Amino acid sequence: MSSTLIDSLFIFMLACFIGFEVIRHVSPLLHTPLMSLTNALDAIAVIGAIVMVGERKSEFSTVLGVIAIVAATSNVVGGFFITDRMLKMFKTSRPVKK
Amino acid sequence: MNAFAGSQHLIEIIYLIASALFILSLKWMSSPATARHGIWAGELGMLLAIAGTLLHHGIVDWTWIAVGLVLGSGIGIPLGMVHMTAVPQRTALSHAFGALCVTLVGTAEFYLRTPNVPKFMMSVLSMEVILGGLTFTGSLMAAGKLQEILPQRPITYKGQNLVNFLLLAVAIASAVYLVLHPEAKQFFPLIVGISLIFGILLIIPIGGADMPTVISLLNGYAGLSAAAMGFVLQNKLLIIAGALDGSSGLILSVIMSKAMNRSFTNVLFGAFGQVQAAAAGGAEAKPVHSATPEEAAAILSAANKVVIVPGYGMAVAQAQHKVRELYDILSKKGVEVRFAIHPVAGRMPGHMNVLLAEADIPYDRLIEMDEINGDFPQTDVALVIGANDVTNPAARTDHSSPIFGMPILDVDKAHTVMVIKRSMSPGFAGIDNPLYYLPNTLMLFGDAKQFVGAIVRELSGGH
């Protein structure tokens, strides 16, 4: 295994711990918007597809890549959009502190 | 050469900033007060990352990238505008899209690199397409069931788990063979194909009540497959985003499985959805007390403390806006009204909170199970709307009950319990609910929306 792979494993491990710590503190109130938000963030996979399509290494990879861009972009746009709509609905009965 | 290296470094820096923004985005989700900042951080990170990627020196053609981005946005906007009641199926559908992207990129990547794929690369690539493939079809199945295109009843047959395990074993064995013999590329379509079939088979035995766990689990798988893709492409931002999404999905599945009293391994290996055949036993005609909307209204207006327990039935009947009217009118009369939210009420984590927030009920009135359970003995009326198994006291007392041990809302401890229900038919799991036969329980038979509406009319006309 090369050192870049080891580096990647370290990053993965640390990111998992950060993920567990951060998500643990999310209020159960917001579990639905949390899921749509992580979904939108996960669609960052689009950057892999963008590079693949842009490089045009083969017809096959370009076709699959374009479909992948469409799928992921719809998650980015739709995911952020619906999360925002959901969060706008959460109101408190207490006066909002400025 | 220097220009190339320069742009590569710039891209890495942009990815670093985007990673930080993603983590902040999730951190700000911890409370409703800061959650919208979280969206902005996420959007900014995403925008930076996509813009940065376009600087990649290997990109020679932008046409098809633009086509993909425009088409995707065109599909994304209507998907972001769906009605709040359709959020569970929309979420399942977006898991499918995410997994589709990962699987397609993984497949293309394999055929570009084969047969020179190093062992570690081939292992993560296999993991990427196995997780991606099963998440893709599994999420489509889940979305179909939630949208009621597919039958919602769990379909089980003898040896189901064995068939599923064997299939998965074949996929993994093929992957191992491919890792050892990268030139045997005919195995690759086999791995992808089996994963796709496995995803379908995995969801066939799943019923509606298991959906919160399953959606969370698919969320986790989608994240892990994206992280695997990050390993293949050696892209740190992807690894981080995938790890965050994966851990989020796994945490939610653990919370959901605990709320259903199932072990995490039980969930992880998809052995959920077992239908309890034994439970239907004996349709004995025990007496129940029922009440009219007028009587229910009289009891509610005489109460000081009311706890409303919403369930999936409220979502089906679209009763949340009528419930808000009830909340308003009782609050105006000086009655303290709160809502008790069971973690698995509805079809996805947090489903009830979103529906009630949509109906303009302040979120500080929505109380989690552990927090509100101690208050039931001091509660005058517990009003159950479309919830069943999560209020079943047999889970506390009856060792033979299939849901024994599942944490429930202790509504039976309230002075009066009122249950709005269409009929006496048992809930999803086919388990009889002793709550309905208690002396302090009143059954309100009817459609949730109409019945709550009738109570509201009675309360507003009655004073």
pLDDT tens digits, B166-188: 998 999 999 999 999 988 888 99
Q: Is the pLDDT of residue B344 over 50?
A: yes
Phi, psi of B419 (to 5 degrees): -120, 115
Our measurement of the distance from residue B273's CA atom to the centroid of its chain's CA atoms, rounded to an integer in Å, reads: 15
Contact with chain A for residue B370, Cβ under 8 A? no
What pLDDT, on the 0 to 100 scale, is given for residue B152?
A: 75
Query: Measured between alpha carbons, how far is residue B243 from residues B39, B216, B231 in Å?
Result: 18, 14, 11
- Per-residue pLDDT tens digits for B64-86: 999 999 999 999 999 999 998 89
Token pair, residue B15, equals 């990815």
Tokens of B63: 């046409």
**Cβ–Cβ contact A6 with B under 8 A:** no
Give the residues across from B419 on adjacent strands: B384, B443
Mean pLDDT of chain B: 88
Q: What's at B208, amino acid-wise?
A: G
**Residue B372 in this model has a pLDDT that exceeds 60:** yes
Q: What is the DSSP letter of B365?
A: G
Q: What's the pLDDT at B280?
A: 43
Residues of A in contact with B365 (CB under 8 A): 93
Q: What is the DSSP string of B410-421?
A: -GGGSSEEEEEE
User: With contacts defined as CB-CB under 8 Å, which chain B residues touch A62?
Assistant: 64
Sign of CA dihedral B342, B343, B344, B350: positive
Identify which of B45, B49, B364 has the shortest CB distance to residue A92: B364
Mutual orientation of helices A3-24 and B2-27 as an angle, nearest 10°?
20
CB–CB of B279/B429 below 8 Å? Answer: yes
The answer to whether residue B273 scores a pLDDT higher than 70 is no
Rounded Cα distance between B128 and B106, Å, is 7
How close is the nearest chain A Cα to the Cα of B329, in Å?
Answer: 15
> Chain B partners of A93 at a C-beta cutoff of 8 Å?
362, 364-365
Q: What is the pLDDT of residues B6-37, one digit of tens each?
A: 788 899 999 999 999 999 999 999 989 899 99
Please give the pLDDT value at position B265.
Answer: 66
The whole-number pLDDT of residue B378 equals: 94
CA distance B236 to B231: 8
B328 catalytic, yes or no? Answer: no
**Domain map of chain A by residue range?**
28-89
Residues in chain B, total: 463
Tokens of B120: 């570690």
Give the residue with greater pLDDT, B21 vs A93: B21
Q: How far is CA B206 from CA B212, B250, B260, B317, in A?
A: 11, 18, 14, 22
Residue B17, burial from CB neighbour count under 10 angstroms (0-12, 13-18, 19+): middle
What 3-state class would DSSP assign to B335?
Answer: coil
Mean pLDDT across chain A: 90
Strand, coil or helix: B424 = coil
Amino acid at B425: S
Question: CA B434, CA B398: separation in Å to the nearest integer?
Answer: 10
**Nearest-Cα residue of chain B relative to residue A82:** B80
Residue B185 pairs in a beta bridge with none
Residues listed for chain A:
98
Helical ranges in A2-58 per DSSP H: 3-24, 31-42, 46-55
Residues of A within 8 A of B246 (CB-CB) are 16, 19
User: What was the pLDDT predicted at B3?
Assistant: 63
Distance between CA atoms of residues B138 and B149, nearest Å: 14
Answer whether B219 sits within 8 Å of A26, measured CB to CB.
no
d(Cα B155, Cα B133) in Å, to the nearest integer?
21
Measured in whole angstroms, the distance separating CA B57 from the mean position of its chain's CA atoms is: 40
B354 touches chain A (CB under 8 A): yes
| Closest CB to B32 among A58, A82, A90 | A90
What pLDDT, in 10s, does the model give residues B401-415?
Answer: 778 888 999 999 999
Q: What residues pair up with B443 in beta bridges, in sequence order?
A: B290, B419
C-beta of residue B436 within 8 angstroms of C-beta of residue B310: no
Please, what's the b/e burial string for B73-108 (b: 16 or more CB within 10 A of its CB; e: otherwise)?
eebbeebbebebbebbbbbbbbbbbbbbbbbbbbbb
What percent of chain A is predicted at pLDDT more than 70?
93
SS3 label, residue B191:
helix
Average pLDDT of the residues in B378-391: 91
pLDDT average, residue stretch B91-112 = 96
User: In this predicted structure, what is the pLDDT of residue B7?
Assistant: 81
Residue of B117, B3, B112, B121 whose CA lies nearest to B56: B3
Q: Do A81 and B77 touch (CB under 8 A)?
A: yes
Distances (CA, A) of B284 to A48, A59, A84, B19, B428: 61, 67, 50, 60, 19
**Closest listed residue to residue B107, CA positions, set B133, B73, B87, B88:** B133
State the ipTM, two decimals: 0.94
Say if the Cβ atoms of B105 and A11 lie within 8 Å. no
pLDDT tier at B124, thresholds 50, 70, 90 = very high
How is residue B94 written in tokens? 């977006």
pLDDT band at residue B272 using 50, 70 and 90 as cut-offs: very low
**A contact test, residue of B12, B188, B234, B244 with most A CBs within 10 A:** B244
Interface probe with B: pick from A3, A51, A74, most Cβ of B within 10 Å = A74
CA atoms within 13 A on the CB side of B441: 21
- CA-nearest residue to A34 within chain B is B29
Do the chains contact at A24 and B251, CB–CB below 8 Å? yes
Among B8, B90, B91, B101, the residue to mutate for chain A (most A Cβ within 10 A): B101
Amino acid identity at B438: L
